[in-house]
A and B are shown apart, each in its own frame.
Chain A
Amino acid sequence: MPQPKGIGLVKGLGVTLKEMGRTMFPRQGVMKLVPSPTQGAVTVQYPHEKEAPAPRARGVIALKEENCTVCMLCARSCPDWCIYIEGHKEKAPPRRAGGKPRTVSALDRFDIDYALCMYCGICVEVCPFDALFWSPEYEYSELRIADLLHDKERLGEWMETVPDFEPYEAGSEAKPRKVPR
């Protein structure tokens, strides 16, 4: 039998009223009579209190400079072209005495323009040398848009805020990854 029209309307009014009661009077027992919406509301009063970031939250990208080989994979895969990399070749002392000096790539510039970045995370995915990581920090707004360009020193500072990788599920055979500290 189809429900008579209008039942849903009354139900809707009930939902909003019940939600108001739950928000205003969240406590139990006698204390229920004392309204305390600050406890009942599901929201957080942001500048005064902060929510813990969700696992794998994408706040800002951190750079481990020593691991970077200037391979440019991240810059090339970036859909917004917001990563700017410059580097040069350097001679490093040989690994063994008497050997030829090695050629290593050194980073001159590694900038990410967060005014352009769309937080897709492809650069972090694509980096083969564990140089880029997600950090959950998000409070880096600026008054000037140009200041949203983070250079490699600033990106390196974010490394401290990178959390450890979550452990894999039981039975996983993949090698656990570690954040270089």
Chain B
Amino acid sequence: MLSVELAYWQQTLLRTVGVLAAVLLPAGALVQLFLFKAVSFMQSRLGPMEAGPHGSLQLFAEVGKWIQKEDIVPDRADARLFKLAPYLVVGTVLLVYLAIPFGPDAVFADLEGGIFYALAASSVSVIGVLIAGWASANKYSLLGGLRAAGQLIAYELPLVLAVMGVVIQAGTLNLQRIVTAQADGSIFGFGAIGLPFAITQIVGFVVFLIAMQAELTQTPFDMPVAESELVTGFMTEYSGMRFLLFFIGEFAAVGALSAVAATLFLGGWYFPGLDHDANYMNVLGPIILLAKILLLSFVVFWVRFTYPRFREDQLQKFAWTVLIPISLLNIVGTMILKVAF
């Protein structure tokens, strides 16, 4: 427990810095490690090699480049909304991190309905995307924005329904207690590794991962930014700093949803064999969670670099006729087993 009493503004300042670090560190690591390097290795090439040893400073070079660029707003665009949209998208990602626990005390806001809040906040980004698509006054942007809206709504359902199973099993909406429920659980009396819900909720886990891929508009679900048809969808008219914000938002969202998935299904900041009430977990916890985030995001990028894109109708059909029925069945099954045991 913290022995220092901080004033409200000091706490707020610390939280703000903390959230920014929590968002930017994983997002930067994801882009550098996976988007720049892992994809290159998967295609038997080297990727960035010039900035720093083995291109390790490439990220800074890219950010420096984007910051220098001119901030262009198209003539016919709705300038105010156009400028607002990227902040909305990034802001929602920051809000998701607010509810994620990093250790027994290391949590920005210990909300009673934590998982409900996290999923609600993550789906606000669709409004930012729609605004960007509409305000750009560009047909590609508008199509991309509408596709994104349709897709995000379609895949929000299986995402939430997959989480239901975990909530039923843990008996709580609080993310912190979901973590401790997994740490304290046991598999038929064998409690050495706790009970990560990925084992009992394997169906929900897979559905969550697929829906997450779609929520993040990563290939094979990247119809909203399908570059061969729509340039880059809702981001077409953006340049410089505002494009960078969309970019950060996209990859920070990968980290955020991976963090939610790690918390729900892989035991969050807990690692088997450690004491989940001990004070040192406040330091170790974030590192463990970051490792789990990297693991899950690697799967996201791995899938992204392997599969080609869905067609728009296939994409909708897959959500409504496959994922949602499966996740509903999963909920029913979980409820029956919960009552039976």
Contact = CB atoms under 8 A, between A and B. Distances in A.
Interface of B: 38, 40-46, 49, 54, 302-303, 305-307
Nearest to A23: B41
A16 B306 contact: yes
Contacts of B303: 13
Interface string A18-59: 011011100000000000011011110100000000000000
27 contacts: A9-B307, A12-B306, A13-B302, A13-B303, A13-B306, A15-B306, A16-B42, A16-B302, A16-B305, A16-B306, A17-B42, A17-B302, A19-B43, A20-B38, A20-B41, A23-B41, A23-B42, A23-B44, A37-B46, A37-B54, A41-B40, A41-B41, A41-B44, A42-B44, A43-B46, A45-B46, A45-B49
A9 B307 CA distance: 8
Contacts of A16: 42, 302, 305-306
Nearest to A14: B306
Given A9-B307, A12-B307, A41 B46 contact: yes
A24 B46 CA distance: 9
Contacts of B44: 19, 22-23, 40-43
Contacts of A13: 302-303, 306
Interface in A116-149: none
A16 B305 CA distance: 8
A19 B39 CA distance: 10
B89 to A, nearest CB: 29
Q: Is the interface of B mostly helix, strand, loop or mixed?
A: helix
A40 B41 CA distance: 9
Contacts of A41: 40-41, 44-46
Contacts of A19: 41-44
Nearest to A13: B306
Contacts, number: 45
Contacts of A37: 41, 46, 54
Nearest to A9: B307
Contacts of A45: 46, 49
A38 B46 contact: yes
Given A19-B44, A42-B45, 20 more contacts: A13-B303, A16-B42, A16-B306, A17-B42, A17-B302, A19-B41, A19-B42, A19-B43, A20-B41, A20-B42, A23-B41, A23-B45, A37-B41, A40-B44, A41-B40, A41-B45, A43-B44, A43-B45, A43-B46, A45-B49
A9 B213 CA distance: 15
Contacts of A17: 42, 302
Q: Which 8 A-B pairs have the closest CB atoms?
A: A23-B41, A43-B45, A20-B41, A16-B42, A20-B42, A16-B306, A41-B46, A42-B44
B78 to A, nearest CB: 40
A160 to B, nearest CB: 32
A17 B299 CA distance: 11
A38 B45 CA distance: 9
A23 B306 CA distance: 16
Nearest to A48: B49
A163 B40 CA distance: 35
A181 to B, nearest CB: 39
Nearest to B308: A12
A155 B195 CA distance: 75
